[in-house]
Amino acid sequence: MKYLYFIALLFLSVSASAQNGTASPYSFIGLGDVVRSKTVEEVSMGGIGVAYSDGVQVGFTNPAALSSMRFTSFGVAAVHNSLNIIQGDNKDKATVASVSYLSLGFPLGRNAGMLLGLMPASNVGYSLVSVTNDEFGEALESNQYRGTGATNRVFMGVGFKMLKNLSVGVEGEYVFGNIEHNILNQRRDVQYGTRYFTDANVNGFRGKIGFLYQNTFDDNILNVGAKFNLQADARFTGNQFFFPINLQLGEDIPRGDDTPVAVSGDITYPMGTSLGIGFGKVNKWFAEIDYNFSAPIRQVGDAFESGDKFRYANYSKIAFGGNYTPNYNSISSYWARATYRMGFQFENTGLLIDGNNNGSFESVKDYGMAFGIGLPMKRSGSKVNIGVDFGRKGMNGNGLVQENYVNIRLGVALLDRWFVKRQIN
């Protein structure tokens, strides 16, 4: 435990600093690229977690699983994201590294547990160009779009056993952050361009409720879980600035009458439902399938784009994955005590985009695969967790952008026993 507090302070300082956690063109919309509330272990199993609980490794998906906690668990993680972006014949690459989360979980007696944490909620980091040509193919007008910023979530969850095999959990979180959008408009044969700059603060509260049924018979495990993300609003408040720019010198030119215009908006996230069922053998293997769905997001206010180019539809996701430990108590083989993970996910993001400006909206889908390993540390159940997930978001056609992504994740889960009364025989 002597290194725990040092690591906590290190990751707190990094998390508090500004991070550019994405390079996705799709982060142009709404809050940006949404970060799912998952641990490295859960992502490495395809994003499952609604029915997952082992009493040792803490999960972020279902707060009801906290009722099975037996150890104090401190977790930190980081991710390195590589993107290949394709649209038509144009290709680009980008890499981003950022902290994934910082968490502390601990048991509350024998039948309850608590989890505290800090992690990103969404990331904005796009750079786009839109050009209008004349009849000869020469550029008449262009718009350069750039965005930066992020929102973060501070969360606290509690889970407890309500009956012998049934647990319930609740979690609340506060979302906060700052997002900047920058548009540079320039026209042919005009010396000055126009810059539109929006600086907005974001805040809001969210909550979720989870249920988990667990039954063990003849060393076999049967888990059934349900989680409900309650309807929540995120509030945007900020200012928009307009000023000319000298295109030859690249300098902004302040104007005496230039005053910011106040902007605001709200994003309403409807209630989301997640259902999962898992089966396995104690300390050996576990497999789970989850289904997630929700109604469309609602977005209003002058802090956002008009929505003529995009819309929201129903969201859905299917995830399947699991883990396998060859020999949990092996003395002779270190690799037999390691935990191997794999999973798949098929997601309909609920985002519709009219990329061809013809009134035909295409759905943005995300298909991915993941695998990972949990490496045990000496003298405890602590683990170093390594995961890789890769896939495709969007497509190259119908005006959409295709993202081929690879995420490499590294996390550490340090376990200890706190609040244990010492006894002297």
CA 55 – CA 415 distance, rounded (Å): 11
Give, in order, the Cα–Cα distances in Å from 163 to each of 12, 32, 108, 217, 226. Answer: 37, 40, 16, 17, 16
Residue 16 has what pLDDT?
44
What DSSP state is assigned to residue 9? H
Q: Is residue 422 situated within a structural domain? A: no
Q: Is residue 423 situated within a structural domain? A: no
CB 187 within 8 A of CB 132: no
Give, in order, the Cα–Cα distances in Å from 182 to each of 19, 140, 211, 395. Answer: 18, 20, 43, 26
Name the nearest CA neighbour of 42 among 374, 365, 282: 374
Contacts for 420 with CB less than 8 Å, ≥ 6 apart: none
Name the nearest CA neighbour of 162 among 112, 125, 117, 124: 112
CB 243 within 8 A of CB 253: yes
Name the nearest CA neighbour of 57 among 423, 425, 424, 414: 414
CB 402 within 8 A of CB 364: no
Q: Is residue 228 situated within a structural domain? A: yes
Residue 407 has, within 13 A of its CA and on its CB side, a CA count of 28
Contacts for 11 with CB less than 8 Å, ≥ 6 apart: 76, 99, 102
CA 422 – CA 392 distance, rounded (Å): 53
Name the nearest CA neighbour of 175 among 118, 218, 222: 118
CB 146 within 8 A of CB 27: no
With vertex at residue 390, the alpha carbon angle to CA 386 and CA 395, rounded to the nearest 5 degrees, is 165
Here the tokens at position 257 are 């009458």
Q: Is residue 424 situated within a structural domain? A: no
Name the nearest CA neighbour of 121 among 31, 210, 227, 185: 31
End-to-end alpha carbon distance in the chain: 25
Name the nearest CA neighbour of 407 among 58, 153, 150, 43: 43
Phi/psi class of residue 142: alpha, beta or left (left: φ > 0; alpha: ψ in -120 to 50)?
Answer: beta
Residues across the chain = 425
CB 221 within 8 A of CB 183: no
Per DSSP, the residues of 296-316 read PPEEEETTS--SSSEEE--EE
Give, in order, the Cα–Cα distances in Å from 20 to each of 32, 41, 97, 378. Answer: 11, 23, 8, 35
What DSSP state is assigned to residue 389? E
CA 103 – CA 109 distance, rounded (Å): 19
With vertex at residue 19, the alpha carbon angle to CA 14 and CA 25, rounded to the nearest 5 degrees, is 160
Sequence letter at residue 380: S
Strand 261-269 with 310-312, pairing: unpaired
Mean pLDDT, consecutive 10-residue segments, the chain of 425 residues?
Answer: 45 47 84 92 96 88 95 92 89 90 92 95 87 75 87 96 95 95 84 84 96 93 97 92 73 62 91 97 95 94 71 96 93 93 97 80 94 86 93 88 95 77 50
CB 210 within 8 A of CB 52: no
State the total domains in the chain.
1
Name the nearest CA neighbour of 317 among 48, 66, 4, 96: 48
Q: What is the CATH classification number for the domain harbouring 350?
A: 2.40.160.60
Residue 257, Cβ neighbours under 10 Å: how many? 4
Domain coverage including residue 410: 4-416
Specify burial of residue 245 (Cβ count, 10 A radius: 0-12, 13-18, 19+).
middle
CB 394 within 8 A of CB 367: no
What burial letters (b/e) apply to 404-415, b meaning 16+ CB within 10 Å? bbebbbbbbbbb
